[in-house]
Structure formats: C-alpha cells, structure tokens
Structure 1
Amino acid sequence: MRIGLLTEGGYPYVSGDASLWCDRLVRGLRQHEFDLYALSRSERQVNEGWVELPPQVDRVRTAPLWTAGDDGAGYGRRARRRFDECFGELAAALCAGVPEGARQPSETFPHRSGEDRALEADRFSRALYGLAELARDEGGLPDALRSERAVRALERACRAPGAARPAREARVPDLLTVAARLEHALRPLSFGWYEDDALGSADLCHAASGGAAALVGLVARHFFGVPLLVTEYGVRLRTHYLTSGAGPTATAAPCVRSLLAAFHGMLATEVYRQAACLTPGNAHARRWQERCGADRDKLHTVYPGMDAAPFAEVGEAPDCADPDTLLWVGRVDPAKDLVSLLHAFAEVRKEEPKTRLRIVATAVGPEGEAYLGHCRMLAAQLFPDEAEGPYAMGDNPVSFEEIGGPETPTVADAYAAGGVTVLSSVVEGFPVGLVEAMLCGRATVSTDVGAVVEVIGGTGLVVPPRNPRALAEACVTLLRDPERRARLGAAARARALELFTVEQSVKAFHGIYLEIISRSPVDRAALDRAGEPLPFAVPAEARLPGRWTGRASRIAARGGPGWAAGAPVRPTAPVAGPTTTEGAR
C-alpha cells in the first residue's frame, strides 16, 4: 500500500511538532510504502534539516507555508471570470456564515437554520474545489488572492443582502487583512502535488493534522478519489479559537476575526465531512470533533505511541527513589504553571520539612528562558534562608536541572530520582511526560487539564489547575503513604503498557489503513503506453499482501498515465513544481 503522509511543520523536519509519532508510525509499518508531503513553517525549520528517514520512505516533497509562490502566470479573460465566480462564492459563504456571538463550536453559524448551514457548507466546498481546479489549470492563484479583484469580491459579499452583521462592519483595511490571511490559508491549493505520479499514485492520504495538511488531502480526494485519514492530537479549529487574539490578528478588528473564524470553521466541517476516518488522539479532541460536526461513526481514538524500552529498567527495578523528593520534568513555558507548583511546594514544606523539589527543565526560546529565570528568582524568594544569593541554588530545597547533566543523564534517570511526579499545567494536550512517569512506575499528582484524566485513569491523584493548596495537599498525601505510592505506580505502569506504547498505536493505524482501503479503494484504470485500457490488468488479489502481488500487478494497480505498464515504479528524478522542492530517495 502506498501512503501519502501529509504533515504541516512536522515530519521529517528535526524541529517538527509531530516528528516523533510520525517517525514511529512510518518505521513500524514496514510493509507499506510512504511518500511524504511536508509543509514547512519557517526558513529556520528548513535550514535545520530532516531526521534520518527509514527505507520505506520512497520520496519526500516539500513546500513552504511561510512564503507565497509566484509562478508568473497571468490570467486572461476566461481565467479572471473563473476566479471571480469561485472566490465570490467563497466570500459569500464566509459572510453569510460569520458567527454572531457564538459560544460553542457547534454554534459556528448560530443565526442560520440547519438547512441554511448545509447550503453555505456546500457553497464553500464548491468554491474551494473551483479554486483548486483553477490553480491546477491556470496557475497564478496566490497573485489573484492578493489582488484588488479579491478585495472587491470580499467587499461585495460583505455589502450583499443576507450578510451577517460583523461582515457588514468590515472596512477596506479589514478586507485587505482578510484577503492576506485567506491567501496564506489557501496556499496548498497551488502546490504542484496534484498529479498522477504524485498524490494521484497514493492509495491513501494520511494527514497528520487538520488545517493546511488536511486541505492537501481534500484536494487529492477531489481530483483522484484518494481516501483521506485525518489524525488530530490537538484540534486545529480549537487552536484557532484560542489563538485568534494573538499573533498577526492580535490587533485585528472583530469583523476580521469573525470572517477568519468562519473560514476555519467551514474548512473543518468540510474536512470532517469528506474524511473516510478521523483518529483523535484522546477523548478531549474527540469531543471537539463531534461538536464541530464530525460523524461519530468515523471517529476512532488512537493514542500516540510511546517507546517503552528506555523506561523498562526503571519501571521494572525495585523502587529506590528518594521518598521525600517531588519531581517535575518537561519543557518550560507559562502554560506549565511552575509558579503554582513553587507556591504549592512552599505549603508542602510546612507539612513535610524534609521534602525537596527537583525541576528538570528544558527552556525553548526567549519566552521559555525568561519564564525559567522568573521561576528561579521566585524559588529564591520563597526560601530565602536556604539560598546563598538571589539566584543561587546552593542548599535551596528547589533544584533546577537539565537532561544530560551529572544528576540526570537521561529522562529515565530523572524519573528514577523522584518519589512523586507532579504535573502543574493549566493547558495540556496529550501529557507525554505523564505517560513517561507512568512507564517508570511512578505515582503522579496532576492538574485536571486536557487529556490528563483520560491518561491517568485512576492511577494517580488529580486536582484543579491554578490551585496551589489542592496541589500541595495531594502531594503530602502521597509523601506520607509509601504503600499507596507503590500501588499507584504499579497500576500506572500497567495502564501505560496496555494503552500508550508504539506497538499499540502502529497496530491500530495498520488496521485502520486496511479498513479504509477495503471500504473505499481508489478506482484507477490500468493503461498501456499508448494510453489505452488494459483489460484484466489488475488481478483480484492485487491489494492483498503476499508473494502473488508481483511488480507488474503493483504497477497496473496504480494505473494512470504516470503508472503505465512497463513504467518505473518510482520516479528516478525530482519532479519539479512551482512551489515545491523534492528529495528522491
């Protein structure tokens, strides 16, 4: 089976968000061939390079999201008419679907009836695929989306009868901002990937996130009928809602935020409607997808797989950790709320004076460095009699360490040193560090955020976020009860081995791949070199693994001009595209 793996700012880049689980998935499914279609988020990410790719990765094609492509194509009269029609439909759908005071994801269009919402969704999808066809036939879509024609189309839609109130309030500067943001969001429509020898040759597209990566899969499904699988560990629409007041739209007018929310809401609706299967990474993401319109029958929760091998020795060894040590491990940023943890530890010291807190921290970026410095200063202020200076950590009961240091050479060594592992976050998706602690057989105290309760499943203590007193009471409870710590740690390790290992994740995705292909195989005609159909060219067993599926059967099964009988199975040279770079393996 040939899988087109679609990523955004992730695999195969070294600094990618989803690099780890994608790499484990690809390496675990050695029986399949993978083509990577990777969207990069910054020039820095591109310069940092790729991770080492396994042999089952056949080829990699990349495209930047951080810069707009310019193929130099100009539109004639017919192409301009097509653009005006398609983009006008898109703008009209957005202006009619602007949320007015919506409070829940299911209320994306609260002022419209169910029939009207379905009509606008169909209008949006027709416009979206019309723009994709225009980009493939004529090129030049990024320039058109940045043009005055696009702004005028938005203005007409905002002034048209039936437009929602926030859209009617938009002014020309607001429309310029909306047009620029839509151009950025629609860049995947212009990539040179929608050919028979690219995404057209895939048996299945697997998007590693929603948003731009899923949009690529939507277009491949539209052009070639390739079924789409979408995995979301963090729902992209939720991320947009949470960050709409930050970044480029931080100072934007309410009408701008409303129009962009309408676009992302309609895109999520179309992705969930057209995807053959959705695999949320936890129940929290699953609930969001359901509230955003996903069909419950398409949803299959697949937890991200963790490599249990590095933690086996610690998890299976007798508990020799310091029973008076609390441990925190993770990447430092304000969402981890180390400030509340330090205040909670001050309360713990009043009850258990021998207790120490070890913070094994990795600071990323200026914000992380600044927050870590603030936490160091706070620790010195909370325990002034035990510090040698404003930033010194001499005899201070709080120590700040890094992985690779003499005390904690590996992550497993860090968990081995603590009697109780603490998570104090106020925002959390899937708590990877919590699973690592569970694999090490450690009792945990966590805040009730994200998928924490789902991961813990009764094997640890859970308290409300931003509540130092409750966090301190839970820590004291476990510090004073070694037998309970041991029971919870053993139960946590058993749960993690049952649900959160790489083997479980790979097995689940393998079964989902086969199920999708069995229900919605790609229908391609096998052609000879002259482009004529080859009768009986595809044997019935062509899609089943085994010795009987030889080279000729696989070539014929892929079909299409790019996979004609006798043609090479893989391209021997990079396939150029106006906004694409490729590395062929």
Structure 2
Amino acid sequence: MKICLIAEGSYPYVTGGVSTWVQTLMTEMHEHEFIIYVINADSKRQGQYVYEFPPNLVEVKEVCLDSYKIEKGKWGKRFNVSDGDFANIASLIGGTASTDWGRVFDLLRSGMFENTIDFLSSKDYLDIVEGLAEETGHPLPFNDLFWTVNSMIQPLLIIVRETIPEADLYHSVSTGYAGIAGVLAKHLHGKPLLLTEHGIYSREREEEIIKADWVKGEFKDLWIRYFYNLSSAIYDAADEVITLFHRNMEIEVEMGCAEEKISIIPNGVEVGQYAALPAVPDDGVIRIGAIVRVVAIKDIKTMIHSFALVEKEIPNAELHIMGSADEEEMYYEECLQLVSSLGVKNIIFTGQVNVKEYVGNMDMIVLTSISEGQPLAILEAMANGKPVVATNVGSCKELLLGKSGDDKPAGIICPVLHYEKIAEALVKLCRNPKMRETMGRNGYERVRRFYRKSVFIERYRTLYQSLGR
C-alpha cells in the first residue's frame, strides 16, 4: 500500500515530537511505501532535512508557503465568479457559514486563474473583501482589512493549487493547512483520509493570535474563526480521526467532530531500549534534564527563571537543555541573554543529542511548555524511571498522575508560566531522593503497561489495513 503522510512545519526539517512520530511510523511499517507531503513556511528550508530517510519513503513533496513571491499578476481583472462561488469564498474567509470545500477547490484550481496572485489581485476578490467589511462593520481602514485577509488566505491558495501525489491512503498529521491538503487529496483522488491530531491545532493558533502583536485587535476574531473553519473541513471529510488522549477527544467533539469517528491511540516507546542506560553519576551533582527544542512554545524562558531560583536553593544543581537551538535562532539568543542577565551559572545547552545517551545521567526531567499533545520527552523519561516536573498542558497530567488523576504519581504538575511553582517542585525533588526513586518507578510501570511502541504501531497497522483495503 502507498500511504501519503501530510505534515506541516515538522518532518523532515526539525527533530522531536511529531517528526519522531512520523519517522517511527515509516520505519516500523516496512511493508508499506510512504510519500511525505510537507508544508513549510520558508523556501530557504527546502531540502534541509535532518532525518535519514527509511528505504520505504519513496517521495518527498515540498510545498513552500512563500512561493507567491515569484508569482506575477495584473491588478483589477474580473473573472466573473458566480454568485454561489462568491458567497462560498466569503463564508470561508469570514467563518460565518459552512463552506463547500469541494466548490472552493474546483474554483481555485480551475483554468480561470493562472496563479494565486491572479485571484488576489482581481476585482472579484476585492468585491468579497468589501462585502466582508460591510457585513462585519470593521472600524479600521479598508486597506488594513484587505491586506489582513490577503495574508490570511494566501497560504491556503498555494496549497489548494498544488499537485497532490497519488496514493492509496492519505494521512494528515494535523488539521490546519495539512488538514486542507488531506481534504483536497480525498476530493481529487477519492481515496480514504485519516487524521491524527497530536495537539489541537486551532486552539494553538488561537493562543498565538491572541498574544500576537502582528494582528491588530479588531482582526483577531477573524483569524481565529478562519483557523477553526480549516479544522472543521477535515473533521467533516476524514474517515477516521485519531487523537492521543481523552481530553483531546472531548475538545474535538466540542468543535464539531463526530464522536463515532474518533479513536484514541497514545504514543509509545520501547521500554527495553531504556533498561540498560547509564546510571546517575555519584558525584554530588543534581542533574535536571530538559528533552526539548529551544523554541518559544516550549517556554524555555520560564524554565530558565525557574532554574535561577533552584540554583539559589540547590547550588550543586545543573540544568541540561537537550535539543536543537537553530529552529528559532532569535529566541535562542534571547534565552542566552536571560541566562546572563539572571547570573545563572549551571545551565548547559547541549544542542541536538541522542537522548538515550543523556537521559540516564539525569536525576529528573522538566518540561515547561505552554502547549503540548502527548510529549515523547515525558514517555522517554518514564521509560528510564525518571520523575518529571511538567506544566499542565496536553496529556502531561494524565501521563504523570494517571487517567483518574489519583494513581501513583510519576511526577509533579505545575501551572503554565508559573516559574515559582515549577522551581518549588524541582527543589522538592532535589532534596528528596526517595521521592525521586518512587516517582520514577511509578512512571516506569505506567509506561510499561499503557504506552508501548509495539502496541501503538500495531494499532496503526490495523487501521491502515482497514481503511486501505
């Protein structure tokens, strides 16, 4: 069977998280051929792969969302878009009514438009934005609304007009743009569509937009409705929807996904691979590890603030931040400046490492993310018997405290952004080796029972066979 995996902003450009999940899926399913359809924001990243591809990956299709920069169009042309298509595009942009995505695809892929600029510079598009302005009564100048909507839908137009490789099954690994590419693939080729949602994409975009300076306040609601509209498209079109834990399933149902479509398949690790890792050195140093990319969504700055307090209480403590720092270089520089301004001495940025070579040396693991799905970092820590301090995002609470919340704890859950509480939890573990040992043992038992890689792979194997037969 040939399976097309559709990803956005992850594999094969960055490591960890969803990217590791994609690589594992392909490597373990050697009986299938895979195509990777990957969406990235910057054409400079094209071909900059950080993974060694497995032999059964037969094609990589890259779609760059900045490709419009080389397109040319003529302003003011009218294409005589029908009233029905006009209203349908307006509903997509405004997020005020259900969108007929098949009709959107057929219009934008038609020979009517030579490229995306043709549409965005047409009088038809101008009429749509004018109608939106009248309907919503935006107080800001029309020019601001025009360019806001332009930047909002331009990436979508690029994806809709791209060629979709033919496959027996399409598998989007998020909603958003990757989700729309999956809906388009099903529309064009009539093949089954599977969605795996690690985190809730539309909720993550909503958080970013609310905090963003580049979106004017009056337009934030427009952006947020737009992203929810994108998610609804694949919730409706997907034959099966997979999520990683129960709370995510509840959110998907709240957002309109049919409950009967949804199954829970948690991530997994191979516990045996962590059994013989090196033990913690007996040198009097307390090592706190963070298996994490240095990016804003992981909130490394809060981690640094927390460790600054820990270092005052536990002078022999070290923080090892184990992950790449080249994905958001400016953010990494800001983190280094924060370390310097706080006068923290014992923080080590290791860069990208083989986790199995480092995690055995750690006394505990910390994760301070502001958004997560089901973090592989926590599963790896638990498989090695390490206690974890984590923020209450995604499935972190379920992983560390059990599904009922009153199981034997494998770590401590703290509020997002609350560096004092995080520091307090870390100091508590630093001072209590018996607690570290007990929590580590609890975590190991939980991951051994409920989060095994072999089970995760077998369930996807069965699902692929069921959908692709």
Distance change in 2, residues 1:47/1:29 (3 Å): closer
- The residue number in structure 2 matching 1:27 is 27
Asked if 2 retains the 8 angstrom alpha-carbon contact of 1:437 and 1:444, the reply is: yes
For residue 91 of structure 1, report the CA deviation from its aligned partner: 0.9
Asked if 2 retains the 8 angstrom alpha-carbon contact of 1:178 and 1:256, the reply is: no
- The residue number in structure 2 matching 1:157 is 131
Aligned pairs for 1:66-81 (under 5 A) are: 66-68=66-68, 80-81=79-80
- The residue number in structure 2 matching 1:331 is 293
Q: 1:256 aligns with which of 192, 195, 219?
A: 219
Deviates more, 1:52-61 or 1:184-193: 52-61
Aligned pairs for 1:487-498 (under 5 A) are: 487-498=438-449
SS of corresponding position for 2:359: helix
Q: 2:163 aligns with which of 192, 205, 209?
A: 192
**Pair 1:90-2:89 in alignment:** yes
Q: Distance in 2 between matches of 1:56 and 1:38?
A: 17
Asked if 1 retains the 8 angstrom alpha-carbon contact of 2:108 and 2:157, the reply is: no
- The residue number in structure 1 matching 2:405 is none
Q: Deviations over 1:391-442 (max 9, x none)?
A: xx4xxxx3425268xxxx8533433333333334444443332222212111
TM-score normalised by the chain length of structure 1: 0.68
- The residue number in structure 2 matching 1:553 is none
- The residue number in structure 2 matching 1:54 is 54
Residue identity matched to 1:25: L
Distance change in 2, residues 1:43/1:17 (3 Å): farther
User: % of aligned pairs identical?
Assistant: 21
Q: Distance in 1 between matches of 2:95 and 2:373?
A: 33
Asked if 2 retains the 8 angstrom alpha-carbon contact of 1:24 and 1:502, the reply is: no
- The residue number in structure 2 matching 1:368 is 332
For residue 510 of structure 1, report the CA deviation from its aligned partner: 1.3
Aligned pairs for 1:348-359 (under 5 A) are: 348-349=313-314, 355-359=316-320
**Pair 1:450-2:424 in alignment:** no
Q: Distance in 2 between matches of 1:73 and 1:326?
A: 58
Asked if 2 retains the 8 angstrom alpha-carbon contact of 1:146 and 1:180, the reply is: no
For residue 45 of structure 1, report the CA deviation from its aligned partner: 1.4
Q: Distance in 1 between matches of 2:16 and 2:437?
A: 36
Asked if 1 retains the 8 angstrom alpha-carbon contact of 2:308 and 2:342, the reply is: no
Q: Deviations over 1:194-249 (max 9, x none)?
A: xxxx43xx2221012211221121122223322211112122211221122566xx
SS of corresponding position for 1:268: helix
**Pair 1:276-2:239 in alignment:** yes
Aligned pairs for 1:171-250 (under 5 A) are: 171-193=142-164, 198-199=165-166, 202-245=167-210, 250=213
Distance change in 2, residues 1:7/1:332 (3 Å): closer
- The residue number in structure 1 matching 2:406 is none
Residue identity matched to 2:293: R
Consecutive unaligned residues of structure 1, counting only runs of 5 or more, are 98-119, 381-392, 518-542, 544-585
Q: Which has the larger radius of gyration?
A: 1
Q: Distance in 2 between matches of 1:425 and 1:10?
A: 17
Residue identity matched to 1:459: A
Asked if 1 retains the 8 angstrom alpha-carbon contact of 2:294 and 2:332, the reply is: yes
- The residue number in structure 1 matching 2:264 is 301
Instruction: Give the number of equivalent residue pairs.
Output: 453
Q: Distance in 1 between matches of 2:36 and 2:219?
A: 34
Q: Distance in 2 between matches of 1:473 and 1:15?
A: 30
Q: Deviations over 1:311-362 (max 9, x none)?
A: 3312xx776656761413233455131244224415643xxx6x42333354
Asked if 2 retains the 8 angstrom alpha-carbon contact of 1:443 and 1:485, the reply is: yes
Residue identity matched to 1:214: G
Q: Distance in 2 between matches of 1:50 and 1:422?
A: 25
- The residue number in structure 1 matching 2:9 is 9
TM-score normalised by the chain length of structure 2: 0.84
- The residue number in structure 2 matching 1:582 is none
Asked if 2 retains the 8 angstrom alpha-carbon contact of 1:158 and 1:170, the reply is: no
For residue 291 of structure 1, report the CA deviation from its aligned partner: 2.2
For residue 72 of structure 1, report the CA deviation from its aligned partner: 8.1
- The residue number in structure 2 matching 1:402 is 350
SS of corresponding position for 2:182: helix
Q: Distance in 1 between matches of 2:419 and 2:382?
A: 23
SS of corresponding position for 1:188: helix
Distance change in 2, residues 1:207/1:170 (3 Å): farther
Distance change in 2, residues 1:184/1:485 (3 Å): closer
For residue 274 of structure 1, report the CA deviation from its aligned partner: 1.4
Q: Distance in 2 between matches of 1:509 and 1:36?
A: 17
Deviates more, 1:458-467 or 1:217-226: 458-467
Q: Distance in 2 between matches of 1:71 and 1:346?
A: 54
Residue identity matched to 1:488: M
Q: Deviations over 1:78-109 (max 9, x none)?
A: x9234664244221464472xxxxxxxxxxxx
**Pair 1:437-2:411 in alignment:** no
Consecutive unaligned residues of structure 2, counting only runs of 5 or more, are 403-408
**Pair 1:144-2:118 in alignment:** yes
